[in-house]
Structure 1
Amino acid sequence: MSEQEREPTARQEAAPLLPMPEDWSRALAVVAHPDDLEYGCSAAVAAWTDAGREVVYVLATRGEAGIDGLAPEVCGPLREREQRASAEAVGVRRVEFLDHRDGVVEYGVGLRRDIAAAVRRHRPELVLTLNHRDTWGGGPWNTPDHVAVGRAVLDAAADAGNRWIFPELAEQGLEPWDGVRWVAVAASPRPTHAVDARPGLERAVRSLLEHRTYIEALTDEDPEAYCRDFLAGGAGGAAARFGGVPAVTFELFPR
């Protein structure tokens, strides 16, 4: 196991979380599936869009393999509709899909190219993704799709600024963009920064609740109670490291 993949030490776990940078205007969120952002960071997204910042969502898949009782050709379009409604609830107007196959997303040149193209297209200063580490902090094993997409995002943020990597993108009119200043990983087991969850929490609950078909397949709990308990519990768990304030956490990688 590499040093980068070791579990955080007690000292790291106790370190105060820093506020996320605020001197930016455009963010691009790239994740594997519908609902990843709603479980990961939508309360922060709501606060950012309220402040006039632009956030665009790009999803590697349409989540077509995510519900056992629904065939992919039925599930994919349904989850796409739910994702668009979910994004709207937190002020995100643009949602794109890369159409990689759900459940078997592979880290590699093709995925990096697709994400680099999205970065060049939207020209963000902040790029967001979901936990790319092997576990969720010593608990459940992470999924291959999350790991592949998260690691590809970290690499593609640099790829997008190098004209000699994927030169075909420039031929398609996508000029290099070296303006990404940070990549922020939501739901990381090694968070370094945070955003006050309180202003956006109610909209985050509504946003996650838009994934009703998925949630009803996942749990027998009342969907709204499930969404509220999950998001409020996660935010509350970070409060001890953020001045007692419920928070959405990120592992921030400056560039």
Structure 2
Amino acid sequence: MTEPSKTESTVDQLKPMPDDWQRALAVVAHPDDLEYGCSAAIAAWTDAGREVTYVLATRGEAGIDTLDPAECGPLREREQLASAAVVGVSEVEFLDHRDGVVEYGIALRRDIAAAIRKYRPELVITLNHRDTWGGVGWNTPDHVAVGRATLDAAADAGNRWIFPELADQGLEPWNGVRWVAVAGSATPTHAVDATPGLERAVRSLLEHRTYIEVLTEEDPETYVRGFLIGFAESMGERFGGKPAVAFELFGR
């Protein structure tokens, strides 16, 4: 007798993200990375009284060809602060690595481990750290470096003998990270219902108007709404039909 084949729904359904946590730290490379990736989930979490902090490796100063980095960096920083506020995030830290040439290595791991020790999250969020977006879309070196370093730093932060100089700065080891959630992964495992936060996610991404207007000739709101809602609905096919923000979840 032939064994019944598994349906797509039994293989590919996404599990709900854990909700037994209070503090999260989102670590990404550039302004707008979180707004493209997962701000609808962040809005839902802050609504529930959870604390979310953003740490950005760069200020995105190399992101607009027509703007000198000295002008572009402060502008994108302002847009990021406004964008974070829309979804209930008030704490945004910039590590000041150079946009476009972020290097994976000890310095980056140390900076992210210091942020984890400082903010003491249970959940750490980052962006796709793999070479591609799951096909022929090549990822940027900054995303790869920051995503991979964040996964490593979640462990570094809890080991007092890795970067012992951080303790001398008052940053004691923090071994309380329980999960690292990767947004934008081609192999997600978990998801959050995007419905409560989706409109704020649209408004949050629209705060990056200067950058968006360089990316597309389409009306900014039409572009943003189509991108975010389309992506959430596509993930919802694996999450009970509800628009969703998906993550690949690594437990620790």
What is the TM-score of this pair, normalised by structure 1? Answer: 0.95
Of stretches 133-142 and 170-179 in structure 1, the one that deviates more from structure 2 is 133-142
Q: Aligned residue for 1:27?
A: 24
User: Matched residues in 2 for 1:102 and 1:95: separation?
Assistant: 17
Partner of residue 59 from structure 2, selected from 62, 70, 77: 62
User: What aligned pairs does 1:42-61 form with structure 2 within 5 A after superposition?
Assistant: 42-61=39-58
After TM superposition, give the deviation of residue 11 of structure 1 in Å: 6.8
User: What aligned pairs does 1:140-219 form with structure 2 within 5 A after superposition?
Assistant: 140-219=137-216
Q: Does structure 2 conserve the Cα–Cα contact (< 8 Å) formed by 1:13 and 1:190? A: no
User: Matched residues in 2 for 1:113 and 1:152: separation?
Assistant: 9
User: Matched residues in 2 for 1:66 and 1:112: separation?
Assistant: 23
Q: Does structure 2 conserve the Cα–Cα contact (< 8 Å) formed by 1:181 and 1:254? A: yes
Q: Secondary structure at the match of 1:199?
A: helix
User: Matched residues in 1 for 2:148 and 2:176: separation?
Assistant: 19
After TM superposition, give the deviation of residue 91 of structure 1 in Å: 0.2
Q: What amino acid sits opposite 1:163 in the alignment?
A: R
Q: Does structure 1 conserve the Cα–Cα contact (< 8 Å) formed by 2:37 and 2:183? A: yes
User: Matched residues in 2 for 1:11 and 1:164: separation?
Assistant: 46
Q: Does structure 1 conserve the Cα–Cα contact (< 8 Å) formed by 2:155 and 2:175? A: yes
Give deviations 1:223-249, integer Å, cap 9, x for gaps.
011110000000000111101111000
User: Matched residues in 1 for 2:168 and 2:101: separation?
Assistant: 29
Q: Does structure 2 conserve the Cα–Cα contact (< 8 Å) formed by 1:14 and 1:241? A: no
Q: What amino acid sits opposite 2:222 in the alignment?
A: A
User: Matched residues in 2 for 1:180 and 1:52: separation?
Assistant: 19
What is the TM-score of this pair, normalised by structure 2? Answer: 0.96
After TM superposition, give the deviation of residue 15 of structure 1 in Å: 1.2
After TM superposition, give the deviation of residue 137 of structure 1 in Å: 1.1
Partner of residue 129 from structure 2, selected from 105, 129, 132: 132
Q: Aligned residue for 1:71?
A: 68
Q: Does structure 1 conserve the Cα–Cα contact (< 8 Å) formed by 2:9 and 2:238? A: no
2:88 aligned with 1:88, yes or no? no
Q: Secondary structure at the match of 1:85?
A: helix
Partner of residue 116 from structure 1, selected from 113, 118, 123: 113
User: Matched residues in 1 for 2:172 and 2:153: separation?
Assistant: 14
Q: Secondary structure at the match of 2:192?
A: strand
User: Matched residues in 2 for 1:78 and 1:209: separation?
Assistant: 14
Quick check: which has more Rg, 1 or 2?
2
Q: Does structure 2 conserve the Cα–Cα contact (< 8 Å) formed by 1:12 and 1:190? A: no
User: Matched residues in 1 for 2:236 and 2:198: separation?
Assistant: 14
After TM superposition, give the deviation of residue 139 of structure 1 in Å: 3.3
Q: What amino acid sits opposite 2:206 in the alignment?
A: L
Detail structure 1 runs of 4+ shifted over 6 Å in the superposition. Answer: 10-13
Taking a change above 3 Å as real, the CA distance of residues 66 and 91 of structure 1, as seen in their structure-2 partners, is same
User: Matched residues in 2 for 1:204 and 1:224: separation?
Assistant: 12
Q: 5+ residue gaps in structure 2? A: 1-6
Q: 5+ residue gaps in structure 1? A: 1-9
User: Matched residues in 1 for 2:236 and 2:23: separation?
Assistant: 27
Aligned CA-pair RMSD: 1.3
Paired positions, count: 246
User: Matched residues in 2 for 1:179 and 1:213: separation?
Assistant: 38
